[in-house]
Structure 1
Amino acid sequence: MDVGLTDRRVLVTGATGGIGRALTRAFAAEGARVAVAYHRDQAAAQAAVRESGGEQRALAVRYDLADPACGDTAVGAVTDRWGGLDVLVANAIRPPTFRPGAASFEDVPVADWLPFVQDNLGRTVATVQAAVGAMRRGGWGRIVLISTHLVRQGAAGREFYTATKAALHGLASSLAWDVGRDGILVNVVAPGLTLTDRVAAMPRQVRAREAAATPSGRLTTPEEVARAVLFLGSALNGNITGEVLTVAGGH
């Protein structure tokens, strides 16, 4: 089936982690040109470029959420190379995702949590702004924001992390009204605990407990998350916008 991604220009942030790598593979397999946005692991980014068809079909771009210009830089690198941008998958996150240290929620200083929110939410919004400008010029676009099922379920110690992710849900639902008539669709994918290498290294009882909490009885794979993103980020998605798709085995 042709999903309408041949030669589409795709930017994936956080592209060298478990889910990010699956995302780049999925889009490249459909004929897209993929920009691999990475933070530190340049070797992993270059490996992803090779997997995605080499330098004729893929591009490694540095993307540091601590840098206020990271969105403009990454989108600019794609448009300079390929003349535009069609798809943005905002997957990058700056750790830690748990509350800093052993402090109670009310004891975490503003100076500790505010930079986390500024980097993870503010930089993502700025990246979306840069992407929307490029997509409006092209008259077509798909934006997929990666969140977490914990926004709905909640988890102790994850208050600041889930607050930044929940904000993406509001961003998508409202931005959809602004860009829809320009051919741009904006959605959120919220994975559950996903069987990346990092999760596979967790204690078996932790993984078993999480799997037992799902109707399917197992954890989601990165490839399953990537297929959901691919659908929303392709021409198969004709008119779904402002929505949240949870990929967590029913958890």
Structure 2
Amino acid sequence: MELGLKDRVVLITGGSGGIGRPLAQQFGAEGAHVALTYHRRAETARGVVRDIEMAGGSAMAVPYDLTDRASMDQAVAAVTDRWGDIDALVVNASATGGPNPRPEPFDQISPSTWEPQLRTEVEGAFHTVQAVLPTMRRRSWGRIVFMSASIVFRGRAGDEAYTAGKAALHGLSRSLATELFDDGILSNVVAPGPTLTEGLLGKLPPALRDKIAGRSPEQARKLLDQGMPHLRFSTVEDVTNVVVFLASAANGNVTGSVVNVAGGH
């Protein structure tokens, strides 16, 4: 399928690790100009840029802080100064690295724990989209993809702030889809389930890591699915293929949708 991404300008927030890294690489392989943001891991981000460029692609890394609107404006300015207006935005940066249950019950959470995480997740997305939208409106074309998580649908005790923040993105995206359709801008959400990123593999027990070492992603998934039948693991490609399609010109009419990439869970 021709995705129509050659020479498109794509901005991926949180592009130095997790799903962000292979996303950046896949966009680069499709011929897009890829800008990926980082917060603390500058050298890791530069490594992703080198990988994309060595494969013949075009990329840059820009600093970005979810809590600082000025840094978002500066990131967008750096991208547009180099390549022009932004065609696609993947809102991947998050207030946390993912679900991380708290030990205390919900009625004992302090506002100092709850408020920063929720505010950063939601307001960070709000400010990022606001910073990018004028560049899309100038072209009368744009694609926005918010990265959520399948845990939003099933919930988990201890992850209330994380799931509430991600669920808010669903409502934001749906409303943006309605407002922006006449401007040629489509907005969607992708909600991955447990995915075989380097981060997840690093959290597995050593014996299990040794068992899947050297296996292909598909073989590793099958081993984990067998050992944890209550889950259905995704490969990174399962997720990135969906995101790249939604952010491409091949997506002509999918908007306001939430795609749950979680093996049916």
Shorter-chain TM-score above 0.5: yes
Specify the SS of the correspondent of 1:131.
helix
Give the 5 Å matches for 1:200-211: 200-201=201-202, 202-203=204-205, 204=208, 207=224, 211=228
Gaps of 5+ in 2: 210-223
Question: Take 1:156 and 1:128, find their aligned partners in 2: how far apart are those partners?
Answer: 30
Contact persistence 1:12–1:91 (CA under 8 A): yes
Match of 2:121?
Answer: 120
SS at match of 1:25: helix
Cα distance between partner residues in 2 of 1:179 and 1:149: 25
Conservation of the 8 A alpha-carbon contact between 2:102 and 2:158: no
1:223 alignment partner AA: E
Task: Provide the aligned length of Structure 1 versus Structure 2.
Answer: 248
Unaligned runs of 5+ in 1: none
**Alignment correspondent of 2:188:** 187
Label 1:59 to 1:96 Cα distance change in 2 as closer, same or farther (>3 A). closer
What percent of counterpart residues are identical?
Answer: 49
Give the aligned residue type for 2:78.
A
Letter matched to residue 259 of structure 2: L
Q: Secondary structure at the match of 1:186?
A: strand
Structure 1 position 73, deviation (Å): 2.1
* Corresponding residue number in structure 1 for 2:61: 60
Are 2:150 and 1:136 equivalent residues in the alignment?
no
CA distance in 2, matches of 1:81, 1:26: 20
Counterparts of 1:222 and 1:97 in 2: how far apart (Å)? 15
Answering whether residue 62 of structure 2 is matched by residue 81 of structure 1, we say no
TM-score by length of 2: 0.87
Using the alignment, how far apart are the partners of 2:228 and 2:92 within structure 1? Answer: 23
Q: Who is 2:250 aligned against?
A: 236
Q: 1:213 aligns with which of 217, 223, 230?
A: 230
Deviation at 1:56, TM superposition (A): 7.9
- Separation of aligned partners in 2, 1:3 and 1:97: 29
Q: Offset of 1:101 from its aligned partner?
A: 4.8
Give per-residue Cα distances to partners, 1:44-92, cap 9 Å, x unaligned: 1111111222698211111122323232222222112111100000111
SS of equivalent to 2:53: coil
Contact 2:72 2:127 in 1 (8 A): yes
Partner of 2:214: none
Kept in 1, the 8 Å contact 2:104–2:158? The answer is no
Shift in Å, 1:98: 5.0
Contact 1:142 1:234 in 2 (8 A): yes
Partner of 2:213: none
Residues 158, 105 of structure 1: alpha-carbon distance in 2 compared, 3 angstrom cutoff: same
Which residue does 1:146 correspond to in 2?
147
Counterparts of 2:79 and 2:94 in 1: how far apart (Å)? Answer: 20
Matching of residue 18 in structure 1 with residue 18 in structure 2: yes
DSSP 3-state at the match of 1:148: coil
Supply the AA of the counterpart residue of 2:72: G
1:103, distance to aligned residue in structure 2 (A): 2.0
Task: Tell me the equivalent position of 2:96.
Answer: 95
TM-score by length of 1: 0.92
CA RMSD of aligned residues (A): 2.2
Alpha-carbon distance in structure 2 between the residues aligned to 1:127 and 1:47: 24
